[in-house]
Structure 1
């Protein structure tokens, strides 16, 4: 396993991190979830990412139990706050009330006294940003949170938060957690340049595009049974943006590149995200231990410039069909 600093902070994390969004507490049984966590630990992964909202708070509980007995100082445990975790009007968002209550609830579920990184899961347009930043800073000063990050924030939102932190003497944001893959490169235009300048690292989720970049989805064929595209717990809605026959054909054309390098297609996709110097870690999930063992082999892989160009040439401009998700053609920084 290779390790990188989280942004410009002194915190080192495994460049392949384990995330449990659509698995723990929902897609797989607890025994299988524990086996996946053990596989991650055995592979050298020390960084584990979750969120209070995953599986209706159950994902944090499962992860906490799976990590019980491990040396806490040797782990980096990340979680998030924003989405609803209860029926009340204050059981959501980034108000001081919800942040404080959610942080304490997450610590209980995870079975730990502190989290290494606490992330704002989305931007809250209904709460003053100063209130949010002060609440996060108070958690840092209390020792319950070591570092603060965000997830899926726009460049201008990150910039506003940095300005408030500098003006008010708060701890600065050290990370952003965006979706990023060969097929989803939105952050390259504005977010990455800002974050490179400000010392903020990317913790990228879905580096294999919900499984599309493994090559298991074939053009002109129905999705294989038991895959993300047939899941009724949120996965199918997310992946359908990529299930276009033209796009799937281009993905299949990546296979010779992976074969030449001795990599699986998933390993190639994960390694591709890690070539971006602003990426601190690629988050991978798993429903089976062997998936972890396969994905972790992307750690330390160096893709030469000619390989990166071949990938660009094969994929060409990628246009998402859903108008609400359309982005400009892909381009590598």
Structure 2
């Protein structure tokens, strides 16, 4: 396995990461896997034995069950691994249990820590842009989590180039922690990331 820096950070991650969207079953997510704990443990062990140290999940995957299963399968090797999870999606019918407001970010982080069975998240990723909440509010809340030691690095997912650049500029202006990575939809038939996002990441040093 080859390893590389995550953006300009000092964090080394395997070139291949292991996504756990298929862990657990619930609602929409059941169609992508629905793996139980024993099946998930086998796959997690194979990944670790192959040199993968970077595992990705999200709070919305099977309504938190993916985080619980991942936490259980890596508990004996937690401090050797890089765990990434995400925040943004709706987690209940409660009106404010969605988005990137300060309240939802802080609440969601605490719940992800509990489900993962850890006291810190290596990479905390905003799952998509929130057009309601000001970026300053979102980025300030994320910075607070880093300062508290609950989160070590920040990333974003499904951002347009202008949204990502605006976020980086705001963080720079306030001397807050910046995003170190972007997770974007990219495949043989979805190539638009090459037009603006890839050059932006290269210019700004994001993984």
- TM-score interval w.r.t. the shorter chain? over 0.9
* Structure 1 residue ranges, 4+ long, deviating more than 4 angstroms after superposition: none
Encode CA deviations 1:134-189: one digit per residue, 9 max, x unaligned. Answer: 00000000001000000010000001101100111101110010111222212100
Query: Who is 1:8 aligned against?
Result: 8
Q: Secondary structure at the match of 2:76?
A: coil
1:54-86 deviation per Cα after TM superposition (whole angstroms, max 9, x unaligned): 01110000000011111x331100000000011
TM (norm. structure 1) is 0.59
The counterpart of 1:68, out of the listed 65, 72, 75, is 75
The answer to whether 1:79 aligns with 2:85 is: yes
Instruction: Point out the structure with max Rg over C-alpha.
Output: 1
Per-residue deviation, 1:9: 1.1
Secondary structure (helix, strand or coil) at the match of 1:69 reads helix
Give the structure 2 partner of residue 110 of structure 1: 116
For the residues of structure 1 that align with 2:20 and 2:79, how far apart are their CA atoms? 21
- Report what 1:176 is aligned to: 182
TM-score by length of 2: 0.94
Aligned counterpart, 1:40: 47
- Separation in 2, partners of 1:110, 1:186: 34
Q: Take 2:74 and 2:103, find their aligned partners in 1: how far apart are those partners? A: 28
Matching residue within 143, 147, 151 for 1:141 = 147
2:24 paired residue number: 25
Query: CA-atom RMSD, angstroms?
Result: 0.8
Q: Take 2:45 and 2:79, find their aligned partners in 1: how far apart are those partners?
A: 17
SS of the residue 1:123 aligns to:
coil
